[in-house]
Amino acid sequence: DKHLRAQSKRKPAKKTKKAVVFFEVEILDAKTKDKLCFLDKVEPNATIGEIKSMFHKSHPQWYPARQSIRLDPKGKSLKDEDVLQHLPVGTTATFYFRDLGAQISWVTVFLTEYTGPLVIYLLFYFRVPFIYPPKYDFTTSKHWVVHLACMCHSFHYVKRLLETLFVHRFSHGTMPLRNIFKNCTYYWGFAAWMAYYINHPLYTPPIYGEQQIRIALIIFLMTAWIENILNFHSPTTLNPGSKTRKIPYPTKNPFTWIFLLVSCPNYTYELGSWLGFTLMTQCLPVAFFTLVGFIQMTVWAKGKHRSYLKEFRDYPPLRSPILPFIL
């Protein structure tokens, strides 16, 4: 008994703590290879985002969103969530910095580029002064398709604004400031060009009349409605705040079944909406805008499709980027 009591009074042996191996991080200029910053005693579980914040303290002019940190001067930017000890570097890690330029939030860019077409189109629709001859100031068109086109165009951009505010989640918080000028020139310029001809006092309705307009309206509304449903079934919407990418699959909702055949169905239905609008207005600038938009969306869809194929070995082989079995 005495022996047992003596054993119980003994203090438990202290666990030996593992010594933490700190990293040394040097950041070089990607162009000149000049040393910009040296960080001593960086914890191994530090993320690239945290390293950017440390770098920002010594170089206040380069805030984290403006920084591109890379393993190779010409390589890809590392993600903010990448952990230092999981990267292919030694305890003395060398990274390369590139200045991305002044940044602006994606939300601000989208709100700006979508508000412009909405306002600009309405200026032409209401025929404010200095657009058409003075005798047409604040007059309305005699063709009902012109009023229908205005409602459809406004609906499209109001929907875009609401999606930006309440639906879309962006993997990157910012984009280069210069892009807002390029994007606004594209969206605002095309909106003015289309609106000028559709709302022109001499505008003539589609050649096949009401039948053509009704078919076009059905195409426009159906594709816009289905696209809206798909936006609510996208992986980023179903998992807000999550940065892990997943293969989008169809659900029980039949409108999501297009995921069986297409990687980017939102672009497919966007194209359908503008084809419907083109048929409704029978206006050459609208057709040209639809063509340019289709080319750009095809580039984006192919890029996204390629990244899916690289990232997921079990990615469905039947899927095409934007048009089933074609493109």
In tens, the pLDDT along 120-167 reads 999 999 999 999 999 999 999 999 999 999 999 999 999 999 988 887
Strand partners of residue 83? 47
Quickly state the pLDDT bin for 240 (edges 50, 70, 90).
Answer: very low
**Per mean pLDDT, which of 229-238, 241-250, 268-277 is the most reliable?**
268-277
298: buried, middle or exposed (CB in 10 Å: 19+, 13-18, 0-12)?
middle
Domains of the chain (ranges plus CATH)? 55-101 (3.10.20.90), 102-205 (no CATH), 210-327 (no CATH)
Cα distance between residue 184 and residue 202, in whole Å: 28
Q: How many CA atoms lie within 13 A of 255 on its CB side?
A: 16
pLDDT tens sequence across 262-296: 988 889 999 999 999 999 999 999 999 999 999 99
Give the pLDDT mean for 58-78: 88
pLDDT tens sequence across 165-203: 887 666 667 888 888 999 999 999 999 999 999 999 999
Cα distance between residue 20 and residue 239, in whole Å: 35
CB 76 within 8 A of CB 70: yes
Give the pLDDT mean for 61-87: 88
Percent of the chain with pLDDT over 90: 42
Strand partners of residue 290? none
Cα distance between residue 126 and residue 205, in whole Å: 18
| pLDDT given at position 219 | 95
- Residue 78 pLDDT exceeds 90: no
For residue 37, give every residue at least 6 positions away whose Cβ sits within 8 Å of its Cβ, in sequence order, or none: 25, 26, 27, 54, 55, 58, 59
| pLDDT given at position 102 | 86
The amino acid at 51: I
Give the pLDDT mean for 12-28: 73
